[in-house]
Structure 1
Amino acid sequence: MEMDLPTRKWSLDAAIEHGPNRTRAQIVLRAPDGQEFSGVGLALRTAPEQVASYLALGRALSDLTEELVEAATAELDAEAGRTQHT
């Protein structure tokens, strides 16, 4: 049995800058409430441009993941603090 659950859309933008020595990727994730999270990744340009793009994007996603986990942990800690003191 399938349930119709409310959908909340998040948006994600990725930008890649190729310099002479490195490739930089930035990913911005926007929550429905307007909050933004960002991740940055770098790759040296010792590999072909496409490979450097993949590496930089992967590293940006990893950085974004860490930021999301930290934000969730902070929210949980804040909620626990409010619950314990009420």
Structure 2
Amino acid sequence: MSATKQWSITVDIDEQEDTTLANVSLRTPTGHEVSGVGHAQRNPLDPSVPEIGDELAVSRALRNLAERLLHTTEKDIAGATGEPAHLHR
């Protein structure tokens, strides 16, 4: 059986002075939602380049989302098999 699926990720970025906060959320077609958060803080001695703060905060949020999704997968495997599951990171 082959299938093509599409999952959507929403990225919200909030910038306040030298701090950037990113929230990402993934929603599957079945309605399951997983989210992640990332934070970036600019060193006051560095030049202000908002794109860099966005990139760093979003990358950290995506990494956080990936860890949460792996944890969800482990729980789902354990629920399906009745055995503990530990996925490689």
Superposition TM-score tier, normalisation by shorter sequence: 0.7 to 0.9
CA distance in 2, matches of 1:68, 1:11: 14
CA distance in 2, matches of 1:53, 1:9: 25
CA RMSD of aligned residues (A): 1.7
Runs of 4+ deviating beyond 4 Å: none
1:78 matched residue in structure 2: 79
**TM-score, L = length of structure 2:** 0.81
Displacement of 1:21 after TM fit? 3.2
Indicate the SS of the match to 2:82. Answer: helix
CA distance in 1, matches of 2:61, 2:6: 21
Identity %: 33
1:22 matched residue in structure 2: 19
Q: Which runs of 5+ in 1 are unaligned?
A: none
2:10 matched residue in structure 1: 13
Q: Which runs of 5+ in 2 are unaligned?
A: 84-89
Displacement of 1:6 after TM fit? 1.5
Q: What does 1:1-86 correspond to in 2, within 5 Å? A: 5-46=2-43, 48-81=49-82
Q: Which amino acid aligns with 1:14?
A: V
Displacement of 1:45 after TM fit? 2.5
Aligned residues: 79
**Would you tell me which structure has more helix in proportion to its own residues?**
1
**TM-score, L = length of structure 1:** 0.83
